[in-house]
Structure formats: C-alpha cells, structure tokens
Structure 1
C-alpha cells in the first residue's frame, strides 16, 4: 500500500486547492523541488505531481518546476495535468518520469490512452476526477454525464498501470476519503486504483490498513501532510504493518 505525497503546481509554486478551485489556492512552498526532497527524506517512496495550470491550458505550463523535481530526487514521480498527446507522453517519460497520468484525454480520446499504454507499458495511468459521481474534465472546469465506473471499464485490458480516482467534492477540505465510491470503483475493475481527494487524518491511514482496502494500490495525501495532520513517519510505519 503506497502513500503518495502530492505536489500541485500553480505558477511555479507548490500549492493546494480547495474543491478544485484555482482561486482558492494556498501556497505551501515556493520551491517544489525542495518540497519533493523533503518528502523523499521523510521516507516516501513515490511522488504524485499535478500541473494545475497545464490541466486548464492543455499543455505543460510548469515544466521547469517538474524538471527541477526530477533533477533533485531519486524516487519515482508520476505527473498529471496538460498531457494530451502521444508526443507529450513520450517527452515526459524521456525526461525521467516513472508514470504519466492522462485525464481529460481519457474522456475525449480513449483510443489515444490505449495507444499510449501499449507503447509505454506500465508507465501510463488514467486520472478520473469526479463531481457527484460524474467525470469532470479540463482541470475540473467541466462536468460530463459520464459515470466513473463506465469510463474506467473502457480501459480494461488496455495495459493501463493505474487509475487515480479523485472525489472533487472532498478535495482539499479534509473530510476524509470517499471510501464507498473509491472501493466500489476498485472492485468494479481489475486496474489498480489509487484514492485521491479528502485524506484528512491518521484515521484515513488506519482505514487503508483494513482488509477491504487492500484492493487499492494506495492513496494520495496533500493538505493533511502540509498541515501536519498526518505524521509521515507514523503513517508509513502503519502501512508497512509495523506496530506504532
């Protein structure tokens, strides 16, 4: 079970949003690379990064910050936001990313996702962001009529490495992961699912250790880590099955 610390990039800074609203951004670090190194030093094994500006623009906007992170840390990094073409995927993987996350394009052009997954096995994930159970796209600015499970099933057998499922209604407000919908999705598909949005406290970490949650690959934590609501050493020990 992997706990992914999150770095969300807006205008070159490390921020956290509230309910996916770009106008409600709190800056936590002016140096994303330094923040990434801090997470690595704390013992995390995988980093989750989102280019928020890129998600709206449809192309990389915070590329320099991402490259600085890749040049600073040794643990694997996955990136989402603004990756919309095979060329984008190829370019980022060549720069050292372990995995790219395709979100909007998974709705607009699922064939491209399947092609990318075939071409880069194990290195392409799908980001499914939902509001009220319906898939949102374009940096969460638009909500479609597409059901989360319906979209996820389109990629069964395509070689997609993981699905990052975000409940937008819980993102950044520390109310806890939507375990019901997340586990429902994980049980509905064979693709590994990563929970995102709302992880609030050590209670969520303990919930991750329960038998029914083992179907997940892991969960992403942002604000709770930055605010100190989660003790990283204790959380990682719990997920390793150690007594705390």
Structure 2
C-alpha cells in the first residue's frame, strides 16, 4: 500500500479545500517545497500534488515549484490540476514527474484521454471525482449525469496506468474514505486504484491495508496531516518497505 501525502498549491502556498470549494480553504505556513522536504525526511517515496491555480486556469501555473520539488528530492510525484493539453503533460513529464493526473479535460474529451495514454505510456493517471455515484468536473462545480462506473467501463481499455477515486462528499471532511465504493471501482478497473478523500486518522490507513485488495495501490492523505490528526512519524511507520 503506497502512501501519498498530499500538497495542494494555491498562490505558491500549501492549502486545503473543503469539498473542493475555493471559497472554503485553509492556508498553511509551510511552502510546497519545504513540505515536500518534510515528507522526504520522513521516508515517504510518493507524493500527490494538485496545482489548484492550474485547475482554475487550465495552465501549468506552478511548473517551477514542481521542477524544484522533483529535482531536490527523490520522490515519485503524481501531479494534477487543470491539465488539458498534450503540451502540459509533456511539460510535467519533462520536469520528471512519474504520472500526470487527468481529470475534467479527459472526462469531457475521451479522445484527449486516449491520445494521452498512447503518447505517454504508463504515465497517465485518471482522476475520477464522484458525488453520489456521478462524476463531477471543473473543480467539482459541474455534476455530470454520468455514473462513474459507466465512464470507467468506456475508457478502461485506453491504457490508463492509475485511477484516483475521490468521494467529493468526504474530501477535506476527515470522515473516512468511501472504501466500499472504491473497492467496486477497483474490481472493475484494468489498472490499480488509489483511495482519495476523507482520511481522518491512522485507522483509515490501517483499514485500507486490511482490505488486502491487490487492485488498490495506495491512499492519499492530506488535511489530516496538516491539521495534526495524523503525525508524520506514525504515518511513516505504515510505509511499505
């Protein structure tokens, strides 16, 4: 079980949103680069980054920060947030990230998703953000009347290398992830799935491991770290050797 500590970047700072609401955000004192350094010092190997400025603008706004993190620390980085072009993917891959997460751009344009997977083999992750079983896009402001499971069935053969499944109702709420729904997605998916949204305590990490589901690759931990509900020392003990 890979553990992905999270960094959400907005205006060059680390922030966390409640249910993806830009008006409902908490800013933290630490810079994204320093936060990545903390994770590295504690022995984490993977890192989940969302460029919230990119999500709002559709551009790679914080590419310089990503470059600095990748060059400074030997971390496997997955990055998402407003990636809507092949050129943006290329910029991130050239910067040295392991995987680029596609969300709204790929869900609204399946051809873009297909082309991305063909051009960047094993480097494209798909972010599926769901509310009550239906996909949401555009910073979760737009609820598509499309069942998450139906969409995954349509794109399952494209060559996606990772699915990140987020239950929006739980994101930033620290109410535990939606394990049941994630397991359903994992059973259907042709690629490994990462649990996202709602991690509240170290018990959620233990529960994810206890699922013992080979299709579930890892879990993302964000707000619970920043708010001190999960100490990095105890989380680091859960890293697979």
Aligned to 2:43: 43
- Post-superposition, which runs of at least 4 consecutive aligned residues in structure 1 deviate over 6 A? none
Partner of 2:215: 215
Between 1:53-62 and 1:175-184, the stretch displaced more is 53-62
Q: 1:17 matched to which residue of 2?
A: 17
Maintained 8 Å contact 2:47/2:75: yes
Give TM-score scaled by structure 2 length. 0.94
Per-residue displacement from partner, 1:149-194 (whole Å, max 9, x unpaired)?
1122222222211011111111111000011111111112222110
Q: Identify the range of structure 1 (3-12 vs 209-218) with the bigger mean alpha-carbon deviation.
A: 209-218
Give the 5 Å matches for 1:134-173: 134-173=134-173
- Alpha-carbon separation, structure 2, partners of 1:15 and 1:224: 12
Q: Which residue in the other structure is 2:183 paired with?
A: 183
**Structure-2 residue corresponding to 1:62:** 62
1:131: how far off? 1.5
**Which residue is equivalent to 1:194?**
194
1:2 aligns with 2:5: no
- SS of the aligned residue for 1:181 comes to helix
Instruction: Work out whether residues 128 and 148 of structure 1, in 8 Å CA contact, stay in contact via their aligned partners in 2.
Output: yes
Report the alpha carbon displacement of residue 212 of structure 1 after superposing the two structures with TM. Answer: 4.3
- Distance of aligned partners of 1:111 and 1:205 in 2 relative to their CA distance in 1, 3 Å threshold: same
Question: Are residues 1:225 and 2:225 paired?
Answer: yes
Matched residue, 1:72: 72
**Distance (whole Å) between structure 1 residues aligned to residue 209 and residue 30 of structure 2:** 34
Question: In the alignment, which residue of structure 1 is the partner of 2:82?
Answer: 82
Q: How far, CA to CA, are the matches of 1:213 and 1:227 in structure 2?
A: 29
Q: Give the equivalent residue in structure 1 for 2:33.
A: 33
Number of aligned residues: 241
Question: What is the rounded CA distance, in whole Å, between the counterparts of 1:176 and 1:232 in structure 2?
Answer: 18
Q: Supply the distance in 2 between the matched residues of 1:42 and 1:169 (Cα, whole angstroms).
A: 30
Give ranges in structure 1 of 5+ residues lacking alignment: none
What is residue 130 of structure 1 aligned with on the other side? 130
Change (3 A) 1:30 1:233: closer
Gaps of 5+ in 2: none
Q: How far apart, CA to CA, are the structure 2 residues paired with 1:103 and 1:112?
A: 11
What TM-score do you get using the length of structure 1 for normalisation? Answer: 0.93
* Displacement after TM superposition at 1:13 (Å): 0.6
